Amino acid sequence: MSLPGGNPRIPEGINASEENPLLEFAWLAGALLLGLAAFVLVLSLSARWLAPFIPFSWEQRASAAVDVFLDSQDVQDANAAARAALDELSAALLQSSLRLPVGDRPAAEVVPPQAFRFHLLSNPQPNAFATLGANVLVTEGLLGHVRSENGLAMVIAHEIAHVQLRHPVESLGRGMVLQLVFSVVTGSTDNSALGGALASGGLLTLLSFSRDMELAADRRALALLGAHYGHLGGADEFFESMDATEDGAQWLEFVSTHPATERRLALIRQAMAAATVQQPLRELPAALQNIAADRACSAEVAVDDAAQLSPGACPGGGGNQSGP
Amino acid sequence: MLISNIEVIPNKRVVEHLGLVQGSTVRAKHAGKDIMAGFKNIFGGELGSYTELLQESRDEAVQRMQEQAQAIGANAVINVRFSTSAIAAGASEILAYGTAVVVQDT
Amino acid sequence: MDVIIQLGVFLLLLALGYFFGRRAEQKHYRSIREREDRLRSLVVISERFPPPELLRHGTQLVSGNVVVSVDYFKTVVAALRNLVGGNISSYESLLDRARREAVLRMQEEAESLGADAVINIKFETSRVSGNAGQALGSVEVLAYGTAMIRP
């Protein structure tokens, strides 16, 4: 029992591992990201499953913020006649859409037709979108890209289809999941992630639809067009015009979340070819025609036929009269 | 290896002191068990998962202490002490330390 | 946009934490090894009774303490590890350093008293308040024992 000569020389690496901590970090972060990805996937799949069963009244409650936004931002400042014309056309389409069931349920039961609200935005960008609370928005800029009522009807039918297929709810659910996950990951203590998104109107961009949703909406829109007009003439107008306008930036916004325009155009043309009956297209309602001509000129879109629709209709050199 | 928390071991004689050895570990349970433990806090009772966690940590700490002792040529660690401290939520540190010695049968 | 800024700040802190934390750790380990070598002859054991050769020595309580702080990178790794479970090796090296440093400081105090050995060493580890959150902010390690001073 004697005192040692000195403290022992104990090898390193027993109590503290000498492994590079970056390696551990990479492992953990990788595992966590994989887990998160699986979690998001499962939740977004379940969003797709659940969306059709969520009562529309719930969606309306969530959309109160959107309605306020649409009203407050003075987005309905287009002239009254044009709005009335759009409403009339949309209402007619909506009426026809009730004949087409969604899944195995009648369309009127999924989303009550009186809930739909159509807005005409005085925005020069060609764009149209559907968002929560059965709000369908069409920009004036879009009117410059269609030649006939049928062409416009196709776009509106597409947005009606989105609403009836409950895509806004599905994508809201997906967006919420992503936000939730993000706020967990970044440790953000802001619990009102959803509230913030709803309030800021960022919701309009939050709701991006997946390619599958777009194609499903296209299919339903074609069916609706067939049911309404008895033929599919003009269904490809907008896409053709978009396709011709190779100046990307202008329409990127609309197309970015959409599947390649050519692919959709191909689907539409295929459907048109299958429906052999071709009938003359209807003209745009007069109130919309004026705007269409304005926009076609101001956007300097090189779509030859757009100018023919109302020859010499470009007022005041370029006529850049976006509504005040 | 002989691990003991007394200094004089019956029937054995310490022939050489080698010095202090220690083993420590910090461990955590996965998040699921943390959540379950949170629920358990409402009803009371034994937190099985944490009991297990601390026991595992203690084993690991003793294991490391033994490794150190072996590395310096000891065949026993006497006067072993444990110290536990919660250093972060859901993670605790266990330290085991003692004197590494060489013992012989008398 | 906010999101990108947040993410950027996070990654920057992570990189800073890793870079400076690792450098500090390596430097600390180097200094620990150097001083351990220097103080190797000042024996530290955990026995309660002085060995026969020290029976005439004087006694005096000596202690050494150190508070070490965790870097951001270690916190993040530990938080990730907390989800998965298992050994939090990033904290282990922190505590290993802290403990050895505490022993060294205790030895230094004993050396200044002219001691030959420190017996009955004990450790105490505690979380230092000031980190309000759940994660480890800084931790104190105290080592204390009885110095056997040459008569």
Q: What pLDDT score does A194 carry?
A: 45
* Res. A198: pLDDT tops 50: no
* DSSP H helical ranges for A139-236: 140-143, 149-164, 167-185, 193-199, 203-206, 211-229
Q: How far is B43 from chain A (nearest CA, A)?
A: 28
Q: Do A4 and B16 touch (CB under 8 A)?
A: yes
Q: Do C89 and A21 touch (CB under 8 A)?
A: yes
Across chain A, mean pLDDT equals 72
DSSP string, A7-44: ---PPSSSSS--S-HHHHHHHHHHHHHHHHHHHHHHHH
pLDDT band (50, 70, 90) for residue A196? very low
- The CA distance from C31 to C8, in Å, is 34
Question: Residue C67 class from Cβ within 10 Å (0-12 exposed, 13-18 middle, 19+ buried)?
Answer: middle
Residues of chain C with Cβ-Cβ distance to B79 below 8 Å are 46-48
Neighbouring subunits of A (3+ Cβ pairs under 8 A): B, C
- The CA distance from A62 to A60, in Å, is 5
Q: What pLDDT score does A120 carry?
A: 82
Tell me which residue in B13, B14, B19 faces A7 most closely, judged by beta carbons: B19
Q: What pLDDT score does A205 carry?
A: 45
CB contacts < 8 A (B, C): 103
Average pLDDT in the A32-40 region?
85
Chain B contact present for C56, CB below 8 A: no
Q: What pLDDT score does A229 carry?
A: 84
C40 — phi, psi (to 5°)?
Answer: -60, -30
Structure tokens at A293: 């001509």
Q: What pLDDT score does A45 carry?
A: 78
Q: What pLDDT score does B68 carry?
A: 93
The residues of chain C scoring below 50 in pLDDT are: none
Residues of chain C with Cβ-Cβ distance to A17 below 8 Å are 87, 89, 92-93
Average pLDDT in the A97-117 region?
83
C 72-131 residues inside an 8 A Cβ radius of B: 78, 81-89, 91-92, 95-96, 99, 103, 121-127
Q: What pLDDT score does B21 carry?
A: 93
SS3 per residue for A115-142: HCEEEEECCCCCCEEEECCCEEEEEHHH
* Res. A202: pLDDT tops 60: no
Choice between C39 and A58, residue whose per-residue pLDDT is larger: C39
Q: What pLDDT score does A197 carry?
A: 46
- The CA distance from A231 to A315, in Å, is 35
Q: What pLDDT score does B47 carry?
A: 79
Average pLDDT in the A142-170 region?
86
Question: Residue A217 class from Cβ within 10 Å (0-12 exposed, 13-18 middle, 19+ buried)?
Answer: buried
ipTM for the assembly: 0.79
Tell me which residue in B13, B19, B23 faces A15 most closely, judged by beta carbons: B23
C150 — phi, psi (to 5°)?
Answer: -55, 135
Choice between A275 and A253, residue whose per-residue pLDDT is larger: A275
Q: What pLDDT score does C36 carry?
A: 92
Chain B contact present for A312, CB below 8 A: no
- State which of A99-113, A138-152, A302-316, C34-48 shows the largest mean pLDDT: C34-48
- Average pLDDT of adjacent 10-residue blocks, chain B of 106 residues: 87 89 88 78 79 88 93 92 82 90 89
Could you give the domains of chain B? Answer: 2-105 (3.30.110.70)
Q: Do B89 and C126 touch (CB under 8 A)?
A: no
Residues of chain B with Cβ-Cβ distance to A10 below 8 Å are 21, 68, 71-72
Report the DSSP beta bridge partners of residue A135. Answer: A117, A131
Query: Best residue in B63, B67, B93, B106 to probe A by mutation, most A CBs within 10 Å?
Result: B67
Q: How far apart are the first and last CA of chain A?
A: 99
Look up tokens 């299958």; give the residue: A274
* Res. A247: pLDDT tops 70: no
- The answer for C10, left when phi > 0, alpha when psi is -120 to 50, beta otherwise, is alpha
Residues of chain A with Cβ-Cβ distance to B67 below 8 Å are 14
Structure tokens at A17: 């591992």
Class for domain C2-149, per CATH? alpha beta
Q: What pLDDT score does A185 carry?
A: 59
Q: Please provide the size of chain B in residues.
A: 106
Name the residue among A41, A63, A90 with its Cα closest to residue A169: A63
Average pLDDT in the A286-291 region?
76
CA distance readout (Å), A318 to A292, A294, B79:
13, 8, 95
Count of CB atoms within 10 A of residue A77's CB? 13
Establish how many alpha carbons lie within 13 A of residue A185's alpha carbon, considering only the half-sphere containing its beta carbon: 20
CB contacts < 8 A (A, C): 70
Look up tokens 């017996």; give the residue: C119
Strand B76-88 and strand B2-3: the pairing is parallel
pLDDT band (50, 70, 90) for residue A236? confident
- Does the pTM surpass 0.80? The reply is no
Structure tokens at C38: 């220097």
Q: How far is C1 from chain B (nearest CA, A)?
A: 30
Choice between A309 and C44, residue whose per-residue pLDDT is larger: C44
Q: What pLDDT score does A204 carry?
A: 46
Q: What pLDDT score does C133 carry?
A: 57
Chain B contact present for A11, CB below 8 A: yes
Q: What pLDDT score does A249 carry?
A: 43
Q: How far is B36 from chain C (nearest CA, A)?
A: 13
Chain B contact present for A1, CB below 8 A: yes
- The CA distance from A273 to A277, in Å, is 9
* Res. A60: pLDDT tops 80: no
Q: What pLDDT score does A51 carry?
A: 76
- State which of A138-142, A289-293, C123-127 shows the largest mean pLDDT: C123-127
pLDDT in tens, C59-73: 899 999 999 888 888
* Res. A305: pLDDT tops 50: no
- The CA distance from A14 to A26, in Å, is 22
Q: What pLDDT score does C77 carry?
A: 87
Q: What pLDDT score does B6 carry?
A: 87
* Res. A314: pLDDT tops 90: no
- The CA distance from C104 to A275, in Å, is 90
Q: Do A22 and C18 touch (CB under 8 A)?
A: yes
- State which of A29-38, A40-49, A227-236, A263-272 shows the largest mean pLDDT: A29-38
Q: What pLDDT score does C134 carry?
A: 59
Residues of chain B with Cβ-Cβ distance to C127 below 8 Å are 85-88
* Res. A102: pLDDT tops 70: yes
* Res. A219: pLDDT tops 90: no
| A6 → chain C, closest CA residue | C41
Choice between A21 and A208, residue whose per-residue pLDDT is larger: A21
Q: How far is B83 from chain A (nearest CA, A)?
A: 15
